[in-house]
Copies of this chain bind each other. A is one copy, B any other.
Amino acid sequence: MLGYLGNPRETINTWYPALRKPAYNPPDWIFAPAWTALYATMGYSSHLVARVAMETLSEPKFLVARAALGIYTAQLGVNLLWTPLFFGKRNPRAALLNIGVLGGLVTGMTWMFSQVDELAGLLCVPYLAWVGFASYLNYSIVKLNPGDGVDKTQ
């Protein structure tokens, strides 16, 4: 099926017919339709097997777990940005926006984790509670420090 080496015409017209064949050698015309059918069934059977593999990768629990781990990574990045915003930039307003986004991500993560593994979901609850409390604290600091909210002297 791959490109022939040598002289294909001479091979087919002279060399192959001259080879001695056993009595049960089928007529030449049978090989092309036989292989067409065999390649077709081969391809279809591999499709059936690939579909089973795809079904595994489409299981709801797997999809939720994979998405939840994506949100986990995202919330961790947002979480780690709070300190540079609040203390680094001395910008409690930006930090409040950050922690608001964080609260949304952690809420979604907690729910998705609980769908995949009950304990994993429960273990997120203290974190969610703390982010809620920290959001309120951040909000209070913004309100109590209208001038110092963003430090202009830096």
Contacts and interface: CB of A to CB of B under 8 A. Distances in A.
Interface of A: 1-8, 11-12, 15-16, 18-22, 24-25, 34, 37-38, 41-42, 44-46, 48-53, 56-57, 59, 61-62, 65-66, 68-69, 72, 76, 79-81, 83-84, 87-90, 92, 113, 116-117, 119-121, 123-124, 126-127, 130, 137, 140-141, 144-145, 148, 151, 154
Nearest to A80: B1
Nearest to A148: B19
Contacts of A92: 19
Contacts of A119: 45, 48
Given A19-B144, A49-B113, 7 more contacts: A1-B79, A19-B148, A20-B141, A41-B126, A42-B72, A45-B123, A56-B57
Contact of A145 (B1, B19, B66): B19
